[in-house]
Amino acid sequence: MKTVQISLNSIDKVKSFVNAITQFEFDFDLISGRYVIDAKSIMGIFSLDLSKPIDLAIHAENDTEEILEVLKPYLV
């Protein structure tokens, strides 16, 4: 598992982020304070405070380089 910080400060960013990670079979969790939600859930993402960076937990054993390349526009 790898954890990175991302910023999803606009509706368009949230939509493109979800589209980008749904191409992977792995699980992704967004962690904001005590809340942990499925990062592939648009409704779940909008329940978080998007004004500050959020931790993204990537549950992948390998292939994290490819995932991080896709996530580059969202990384803090």
Query: What 3-state class would DSSP assign to 20?
Result: helix
The per-residue pLDDT for 63 is: 78
Whether pTM > 0.85 for this model: the answer is yes
φ, ψ for residue 66 (rounded to 5)? -65, -40
The per-residue pLDDT for 69 is: 95
| Range 37-68 burial, b when 16+ CB lie within 10 A, else e | bebbeeebbeebebeebbebbbebeeeeeebe
The per-residue pLDDT for 8 is: 95
Tell me which H or E stretch contains 56. Answer: strand 54-59
**12-68 per-position pLDDT tens digit:** 999 999 999 999 999 999 999 999 999 999 999 999 999 999 999 999 988 789 999
The per-residue pLDDT for 61 is: 84
